[in-house]
Chain A
Amino acid sequence: MTIAPELSDQVVSELADAVGGQHVLTSKTARYNRARVPAPFPVHRWAERVPDLVVMPASTEEVAEVMRIANAHRIPVVPRDGGTGLTDGAVPERRGIIVDVKRMNDVKAIDTDNRTCTVGAGINMLKLNEVLAPYGLLYPDDPASYPCSLVGGRIGTSGWSLIGSRYGHSRDLVLSFSFVLPTGRVIRVGDGGGPKVSKSSTGYQLKHLFMGHQGTLGIATEATLKLIPKPEAELSPFWAFPDYDSAHQCVQKLAHAGVATFAGAVLFDEWKVDYLRRDDEAYIPQPADVRALVCAVAYGNADEVRAGGKRFMRIARDAGARYLGDEISQGDWAARHDRYATPLHGRTRAGQVVPMSWHCEDSAINWTDLPQVRLEWHRIADDLRRRFDMFDDWGIFAYTSAATGVDYLTEIDIGIWEQELDDESWTAWVQAKKDIAEVAVRHGGSISACHGACRDGEVDLVPVELGGAFDVMLDVKRAVDPNNIMNPGKYLLDRAYETEVE
């Protein structure tokens, strides 16, 4: 197991030679501000997560040099990009070096003929799309963190996109990338050898392996991305239902309809509607008999979106929905999508308003299991809230992950009053996360559809979910990262080295 040695002056000067002295940050603020991400956090234990220093390289070669130094000295390395990841991936567990790739944010090439672009890993999608706009092109990786997450982090997490049911998720949209292995060796991984290939059968398909590993296998530095023509039109009708079950039926009918412009559908459960009524000022008030909501989203050419929209309206009407009108439909989608904001405050049991941090669960659940998973999750949240008056149940969203309705990203949002957290409540919270993950796995789903699953609590269930595949993960980890320098402590991967510890 790697424990960060005190970083010697020797190491610091080697790093300064590699990236330039001004890009080696050792100040306390540099280190403390890279010790957390937006996920709830035991504030009183901040100091445990602080790295030894931060480097901000500007090129693949500089990253490679940093890796060689770290590997030679057996120093932990944690890649960090936007720092918006919700599973603490970019937070060091064993101090070491944070490799912050945000300076690598240039657009290196735009290929309008093959519709690709090549960018540095530190670029943001919104910013990239500003550059692509004059070409009529769009990079459609569109998470709710669209204005703040960055391409390298999308690779590190294998992210999920709100309009992925039509355009694909990060794994489909990133064609290839340069990747620095823990030894400092640089490889290009993609669908095949050529950087702009979207389907290949040559050799092992390594692209998936080097996405979503939370920085435990290496660092992506530059990526070639698939582009689409900027959609002419978008439509996002919202419908209300008197009960959850009819909304649940309706959302799947929409997904099953085979509409080509279908980009996703969202189901809001009763708890979510209650919460929005209570505390979300972006939410447009609905009569009390509204218990659940569904939204469908269509993107594409204007005529096709219009035709698909008519079909959605018919399906929803037949399923007993009440259309909420254009204004609410457009406004609510814009709010949820362009600047995703849970209100970030909640209430104590007595109804007092308090600033709360947001836990966003993100399991993948099959449509058939949604009703039951929802009840079990709410029971867990309710139990927590009863015992500690610092948690709040903000309800569940379920979003289609694919056009066929096979599985849904299922998100229970839980508010946590961080100012009040102590060891006891934190321990209870970690247990609750484990219980939530257990429900997902028991129902044949996956703990995480988008963020990854390496936080305390849920991570314990990863070997259960993956079974024999987890053992192969350990073998891969050991083969790629012989000294366990990459983001050590994450995903129980220390187990890969246990025999060597003695």
Chain B
Amino acid sequence: MTDVPPRQSPAPEEQAGGAADTGHNGGNGHSPVTVEFLSEWRNAAYNCYSSGHKFCREVCPVMQVTRNENHTPTAFHANVVAMEQGELTVEDVAEDYVNCTQCGACELRCPNTLFTGDFYRFRTRTVDLVKRMRALAVDNGVHQPGYQRWNELTDERSHEPVLGDTPVSQEHVRDWAGGLDIPIGGETVLFVDCEAAFYRTSLPRAVAQILRRAGYEFGLMTEQWCCGGPAAEMGYRDQARRFAEHNLADWRAAGVRRVLVLDPHDYITFTEDYPEFFGDDFDIEIVLVVELLAQLIAEGRLTPTVPIERTITYHDPCRLNKRKGVWQEPRQILGAIPGLTFHDVDRVTQWSYCSGAGAGLPIERPEIARKISENRMDEAAQLEVDTLVSACPWSERPLAEAGQDRAIDVVDIHELLAESLGIDVGGRTRA
């Protein structure tokens, strides 16, 4: 028997040296928002700092490329301690925090999450820290030029500038659905992220037609804006919130109860950021399309029959596998498609894989992002596959580019399923 019943142990914020005891920071010339941030993050930062053991290093996709200790969770936490000690300022540290895709691998590999997590309900929250530090920088007027421009353009156009110089706009956000006669509004709507709506239009077309085949009713939003997640990831929290408010108002006005999400990034935004913004008022059900499709297949409402002769591997999108623990359903879908030869790599091994596309890394550090994509495709190439299947539109563009040199096609799982259901998807991937 333990003589300390686990559930009676104090939560971290009740520990000695907690937020109430602001200890040594005493201002140190920091702005009031910074002082508040430091008192909020102080104990979490020390939890890592006092360990400092770097079990998180080798699993990190950025670190695998740069090998630069500045880009580790260890450093991300230690900087907070150094700021609290008055050794570093937000200006000193801000730029380092661009070197993260917010993939979540380091949190899974951190022993403090694995063990202390159960006992003290403490979890190493590196992703959250990176987001907060980026926001703190913005709040202090410290901007990364790429992020700043991206979010300005997003603000102007209400969508991310995913087509580069070709503008994206509200008038075109539903163009992907041309000819499909999808109604506007209804209890259930399909939310299509910017990359899929403007760049990979074949993906939402596949999803829409599969759902229709299964007799699953849904509509589109009256006026869909970007989910706001990218702004939140890059530190532009006010903008993120404005976008969230817009979308929520749109849902409310149409009487929406349920939102279908085909993009893992949106899924994070709607299940983590929106509840944080709106608290208990946020009562919209969020449904991940991959999970829904696996269920429809299991229920016999969808039966893929057209054999697909490909030798594939599956890329676990970080935000599904590492951040949400969703890894079974995509494999169930792939298992139902006839003709495939599947060289799977288990989800734990894939903790150290990433497409490089997350959290704005390609905006500020395209060369690192590209190298991460190449590393991922090198892993695939070793399996001697002709196709890599992903379930995340943001991963598919960079992985496809890296796949070209290795003669590996990158295919979206929804599109693959549509093909096996005999659906001629239409739409395109814009080159």
Contacts and interface: CB of A to CB of B under 8 A. Distances in A.
Contacts of A287: 1
A357 B17 CA distance: 14
B88 A32 contact: yes
Contacts of A285: 1-2
Contact of A38 (B51, B58, B72, B116): B51
B70 A25 contact: yes
A29 B3 contact: no
B17 A354 contact: yes
A277 B9 CA distance: 14
Contacts, number: 149
B43 interface: yes
Contacts of A354: 15-17
A206 interface: no
Contacts of B326: none
Contact of B46 (A148, A353, A355): A355
A28 interface: yes
Interface stretch (B106-114, B242-250, B327-335): B106-114
Contacts of B336: none
B82 A122 contact: no
B422 interface: no
Interface string A280-315: 111001011000000000000000000000000000
B54 interface: yes
Interface in A355-410: 355-358
B282 to A, nearest CB: 33
Nearest to A418: B50
A38 B68 CA distance: 17
Interface stretch (B33-41, B73-81, B253-261, B408-416): B73-81
A278 B92 contact: no
B185 to A, nearest CB: 49
Interface string B79-93: 101100101100011
Contact of A339 (B43, B50, B55): B55
B86 to A, nearest CB: 10
Contact of A102 (B43, B53, B67): B67
Contacts of A249: none
Interface in A122-181: 122, 124, 126-127, 145, 147-148
A330 interface: no
B426 interface: no
Contact of A418 (B3, B49, B69): B49
A358 B92 CA distance: 29
Interface string B22-59: 01100000000000000000010011011111110110
B85 A353 contact: no
Nearest to A276: B2
B115 interface: yes
A37 B75 contact: no
Contacts of B3: 277-278
Contacts of A279: 4
Contacts of B4: 278-279
Nearest to B97: A29
A147 B58 contact: yes
A242 interface: no
B98 to A, nearest CB: 12
A281 B78 contact: no
B96 interface: yes
B47 A105 contact: no
A205 interface: no
Contacts of B75: 29, 33
A108 interface: no
Given A100-B69, A344-B112, A43 B53 contact: no
B115 A343 contact: yes
B119 interface: yes
Contacts of B46: 355, 418-419
Given A33-B78, A278-B4, A358-B51, A83 B118 contact: no
B82 A32 contact: yes
B6 interface: yes
B120 interface: yes
A288 B1 contact: yes
Contacts of A433: none
B275 interface: no
A32 B87 contact: yes
Given A38-B53, A147-B55, A353-B9, A341 B114 contact: yes
Contact of A29 (B15, B24, B70, B115): B70
Contacts of B69: 30, 33-34, 83, 100, 102
Given A100-B69, A344-B51, 14 more contacts: A25-B68, A27-B96, A36-B52, A43-B49, A46-B85, A82-B54, A148-B53, A148-B55, A148-B58, A281-B115, A341-B111, A343-B115, A355-B46, A357-B49
21 contacts: A27-B92, A28-B87, A29-B88, A30-B70, A32-B87, A33-B69, A38-B54, A46-B87, A47-B87, A56-B68, A103-B67, A124-B58, A147-B58, A148-B57, A148-B58, A285-B2, A341-B111, A344-B50, A352-B15, A354-B16, A355-B46
Question: Which 7 residue pairs across A and B have the least CB separation, nearest first?
Answer: A341-B111, A281-B119, A357-B50, A38-B52, A102-B67, A148-B54, A33-B75
